[in-house]
Structure 1
Amino acid sequence: MKQVIVDDTEDVSLDVGNEEELALQKAKIRHPLATFFHLFFRVGAIVAYLFCDWFSKSFVTCFVIILLLLAFDFWSVKNVTGRLLVGLRWWNQIDEDGKSHWIFEAKKASPNITTSTEVEARIFWLGLIICPMIWTIFFFSTLFSLKLKWLALVIAGMSLQSANLYGYVHCKTGGQQNVSKSASRFLSQQLFQRTL
């Protein structure tokens, strides 16, 4: 498996005098529909998992509803909200030889055109990080409560949510090599600060 990293960074020019305008842009949500659906499918799947037994006694109906919400979430985050809210996208491409190539892309930062705001980016990353953690808690609670009929669904939830998290972390950090470099740099800084 070969990883291809696309990093579209360029020099940033200083735009003096627009501090108030930039502060207003950081505070508002420019893509409310994308922000809504980023959270709707994720939270909907979790709420449906928790309360589906109250509304329906059919295991199959609950399973299908939750799985559809998870699939809609995976598709919308990977193809829509990642691009709009943080300017990142990832995909897997198979070349003519049958080899798999993971491609991670970050949108160019332009001083005049901002694609997302700070609020949108926080909502995106919080939803992307917290939901796989919740599905992991569901996994262990399913194992220990011996409700093994839900195990396949919980594993699907963990897998789909974690795949998007993995892809976007690679987009943000610039690939596997940069992740290890960033981690070692962070650890060395932490050790240095603690010794002082």
Structure 2
Amino acid sequence: MDQARNFYNTILKSSHPLLLSFHLAGKAVPIVFYIIGSMFLNFTPQFITVVLLLSFDFYLTKNITGRKLVQLRWWYDSTDVNKDSNFTFESYKQYAPGPPINAIDSKLFWWSMYVTPVIWGVFAVLCLLRLKIFYLILVIVAMCLTAWNTYGFRCCDRWEPNSGQSDGQDTNNWFALPSVPGFENLSRLANIQSFFQRQ
């Protein structure tokens, strides 16, 4: 009981206690529902519910809690074919000196971001050992969504706006997105197709 009270007091020290609570709940609820959902649901509704919860968490983290708790925001822009990287970042470093980032917000944000993909990775190993292929698909979706969000925020945090590099270009990039020739032509093809569909 004391641990719960201490955690509650820690949340209250946050600059945005309600948002921090939503952020942590967004990470925890899909995991809890994955664990106990099979007790009262079949696989298909459980799969759909967990994916919807993960999608909500992805959106909430990327667009709201990341911006408020650690003052970082990123998005993947596939329309500009002339950029070296398709990542676009907004960071507190651009607007310095800005309001300080609360240490509690930052610590809990980053811990939750790094721990969540690891938990889903453990579930993936368990699914492999038990040969639960359909649950493995669900866990891989969860792992991809949480890891992609973590990767985006990690790159955004490491990004230096005055370093002369374009958005998302990182010299020490530990994960480079594959460049597939011809994908940039898809947007041009869509423009041509929409031109001929006009009446």
Which residue of the partner structure matches residue 31 of structure 1? Answer: 16
Which residue of the partner structure matches residue 104 of structure 1? Answer: 89
2:136 aligned to which of 141, 147, 151: 151
Shift of 1:28: 2.1
Q: State percent identity of aligned pairs.
A: 36
Higher normalized strand content (fraction of residues): 1
Does residue 80 (structure 1) correspond to residue 64 (structure 2)? The answer is: yes
TM-score (norm 2): 0.70
Q: Is the 8 A contact 1:42 1:73 kept in 2?
A: yes
TM-score (norm 1): 0.71
Q: Is the 8 A contact 2:23 2:65 kept in 1?
A: yes
**Structure 1 runs, 4 residues or longer, greater than 4 Å off:** 96-100
1:58-88 deviation digits (Å, cap 9, x = unpaired):
1111111111110000000000111000011
What 5-or-longer segments of structure 2 have no aligned partner?
1-11, 160-168, 175-199
Q: Secondary structure at the match of 1:94?
A: coil
Describe how 1:1-196 pairs up with structure 2 within 5 A: 28-56=13-41, 58-95=42-79, 97=81, 101-107=86-92, 108-110=95-97, 113-114=99-100, 116-174=101-159, 175-178=169-172
- Count of aligned positions: 151
Shift of 1:37: 1.3
Shift of 1:95: 3.1
1:5-26 deviation digits (Å, cap 9, x = unpaired):
xxxxxxxxxxxxxxxxxxxxxx
Q: Is the 8 A contact 1:173 1:179 kept in 2?
A: no
Shift of 1:104: 2.2
Q: What amino acid is the match of 1:62?
A: Q
RMSD (Å) for aligned C-alpha atoms: 2.0
Kindly indicate whether structure 1 or structure 2 has the higher relative contact order, using CA contacts under 8 Å at least 6 residues apart: 1
